[in-house]
Amino acid sequence: MLRLDKRHVIAKKIAELLETGQIVNLGIGIPTLIPQYLDGKEVYLESENGLLGIGPPPTEENLDADLIDAGKVPITALSGSSFFNSADSFAMIRGGHVDVAVLGILQVDMYGEIANWAVPNQPILGVGGAMDLVAGSKKVIAAATLFAKDGTPKLVKNLTYKSSGSRRIELFVTEYAIFTFTEEGVKVAEIIEDISIEELSERVGIKLEYASEQSIKV
């Protein structure tokens, strides 16, 4: 059996965690891979550019260049899906009607505050929907590889990038482990890769321990 690359490992794990009936906003990057791993689970996927009811990835036969997600990636729409403008989309997000937002991140601190829209000394294109989703979604899952291209961990003691909002996220899903956050700090909810918690602690530079709750709920 082919081994999934790390981005797909993360997307598949999140797809397994989502619950039937949830309205789920998918951010740009790894979150857009989630639809191919839902295996028929009835989750209502929302894209902030104005679609509720994202279907599985298109084939060459049913690809429509006019049907794209927030990251301009071609998608499909399920029967019964809804199309709406950006104002209605953000009214839905700000009104607390999104059950789960799955967002890519640049950093997350040990208490669950994320940075995902501005890199120092790089052009800033705009915050997009990041702050609205962090503030308005009932739950937030961060989806990202644990380490950046230069090897630095994205799980940090303190953010060095601009924050996306003070609200604490629920889960950080990586290719190595799933992290959860409490007032006491970050905890390991599940190990995914073949690695000890001691080695994981050493690599990220934060002393980690397992969460007391064994079941992961989103």
Give the HSE-up count for residue 46: Cα atoms under 13 Å, Cβ half-sphere: 27
Domain 6-204, CATH class in plain words = alpha beta
Write out the catalytic residue numbers: 48
pLDDT over 70 (residue 2): no
Give the domain ranges of the chain.
6-204
Tokens of 137: 């979604």
Contact (CB, 8 A) for 7 and 170: no
* 168-202 per-position pLDDT tens digit: 999 999 999 999 999 999 999 999 999 999 999 99
| pLDDT score of 123 | 76
* 39-93 per-position pLDDT tens digit: 989 999 999 999 999 999 999 999 999 999 988 899 999 999 999 999 999 999 9
pLDDT over 70 (residue 12): yes
Give the Cα separation of 135 and 138 in Å (integer): 8
Instruction: Give the burial string for 162-200 (b: 16+ CB within 10 Å, else e).
Output: ebbbebbbbbbbbbbbbbbbeeeebbbbbeeeeeeeeeb
Contact (CB, 8 A) for 205 and 186: no
